[in-house]
Amino acid sequence: MSERRILLVNKILGHPLRLVFAGVAAFFILALYFLLFAPNNFEGDQKIVPIYRGEPFHHVVDSLSTYEVISHPLFFKLAGELINASNKIKVGRYVFRSGRSNWQILHNIIDGTSVVNPAVTVREGMRAAQIARLLHKNISIDSAKFMSYLSDTSLIGIPNSGAISLEGFLMPETYDFYWQMDEKAIIEEMLGEFRKFYVDSLQARAKKLKMTINEVVTLASIVEGETSLESERPLIAGLYYNRLRRRMKLEADPTIQYIINGPRRIRYNDLKIESPYNTYLNYGLPPGPINNPGRKSILAALYPEKTSYLYFVADGRGGHRFARTLAEHIRNVYEYRRQRRLAEKGR
């Protein structure tokens, strides 16, 4: 075939081939657009979607589809496989706004951006079991796994603490924990806050009082359970020191509430429950803290007010009446019960 004829054939066939190549290229560009860059629109301003530890990629796709964050689950799944996202996803509670592309959403959950980290407030006087339930509710941790670490007192990180568990050392505070954070990491952060507070000067003060850290925190936890009034804490601590020195039973109601897993009204039979934490039956402090006290109660246990008081009872107004003698205390108890009866009749 002559060169002229070959050029003529190429000219005839070249135009359709260019069209085919152009069509294929357009198809791939369009497919790539829908896979990665097309916006996912939904009603409302934003959606919050949780991604859990160990959750496989196809479950993540299902969740995003259920919450209507993505418009085409198959496209999103293919896009994830295209950029090998399945093993890179970070846990969290993610906030997504309408109009974001698969590419943007994938990079959010790979980089851990757009995560909602709720502030969790651990209040003074909460028990470890209550903290575990709070964290399960707010950041979806495994509460049983959290509780399993309580026996590892080496995590406290202070020598000769005398502690029998981590109860009492989980410092109340507002924390910025993240969704499904590792349970041990949470405990270590809370214990870190305790160590920051319980500095060398406070440890020296405990030694001066001839008390272990465990004993200080145990007394502080009782003080925490007795009152929410800052002004009363050092006074109640001083009163309990008086009872300890005189070898009087502490007869502290918060220890009974701990045994019966209160709060509820204490009955007479509750005072007879056999337990090392029952300060109506046993002398001295209980074996360990009954809650996790705040800084002010710990300071009250370390720096109690000097007083001659030995007894106290609620005054019905959020505070307490204090007494030096049993006779004075009995009168205060009678007055408290009278006021309570009048209040109940007025309901």
3-state secondary structure 172-193: CEEECCCCCCCHHHHHHHHHHH
Rounded CA separation 159/184 (Å)? 20
CA 295 to chain centroid: 18
For residues 98 and 80, the answer to whether their CB atoms sit within 8 Å is no
Q: Which residues contact 38 (CB under 8 A, 6 or more apart)?
A: 71, 75, 101, 102
Whether the pLDDT of residue 97 is over 80: the answer is: yes
3-state secondary structure 250-310: CCCHHHHHHHCCCCCCCCHHHHHCCCCCCCCCCCCCCCCCCCECCHHHHHHHHCCCCCCCC
Whether the pLDDT of residue 275 is over 90: the answer is: yes
Rounded CA separation 174/123 (Å)? 8
pLDDT band at 338 (very low <50, low <70, confident <90, very high): confident
pLDDT of residue 284: 96
pLDDT of residue 86: 81
Q: Quick one: average pLDDT of 197-212?
A: 96
pLDDT of residue 130: 97
pLDDT digits (tens, 9 = 90+) for 156-167: 999 999 999 999
Which helix (H) or strand (E) segment is 19 a member of?
helix 3-32
Q: Quick one: average pLDDT of 57-84?
A: 91
Question: How would DSSP label each residue in 96-114?
Answer: EETTEEHHHHHHHHHHTTT
Whether the pLDDT of residue 200 is over 60: the answer is: yes
Which helix (H) or strand (E) segment is 314 a member of?
strand 311-314
39-111: CATH, from 3.40.50.720, 3.30.1360.70, 1.10.760.10, 3.30.1490.480: 3.30.1490.480
Rounded CA separation 314/320 (Å)? 4
pLDDT of residue 11: 56
Rounded CA separation 75/153 (Å)? 50
- pTM score, whole prediction: 0.81
CB atoms within 10 A of CB 264: 9
pLDDT digits (tens, 9 = 90+) for 33-56: 777 888 989 888 888 899 988 889
Q: Quick one: average pLDDT of 96-107?
A: 91
Whether the pLDDT of residue 27 is over 60: the answer is: no
- Helices then strands, counting H and E runs in the chain, come out as 13, 8
Q: Which residues contact 11 (CB under 8 A, 6 or more apart)?
A: none
Whether the pLDDT of residue 12 is over 60: the answer is: no
Q: Which residue has the higher pLDDT, 173 or 86?
A: 173
Rounded CA separation 311/240 (Å)? 9
pLDDT of residue 20: 57
Whether the pLDDT of residue 101 is over 60: the answer is: yes
Whether the pLDDT of residue 118 is over 70: the answer is: yes
pLDDT of residue 5: 60
pLDDT digits (tens, 9 = 90+) for 1-10: 566 665 555 5
Q: Looking at 19-23, 89-93, 129-133, which range is the least confident one?
A: 19-23
Unique residue bearing structure tokens 């850290």: 213
The DSSP code for 85 is -
Whether the pLDDT of residue 207 is over 70: the answer is: yes
Residue 72, helix vs strand vs coil? coil
Write down the mean pLDDT value for the chain: 90
pLDDT band at 346 (very low <50, low <70, confident <90, very high): low
pLDDT of residue 304: 98
pLDDT of residue 339: 84
Whether the pLDDT of residue 234 is over 90: the answer is: yes
Delimit the domains of the chain by residue range.
1-37, 39-111, 208-345
Which helix (H) or strand (E) segment is 238 a member of?
helix 233-245
Q: Quick one: average pLDDT of 297-319?
A: 95
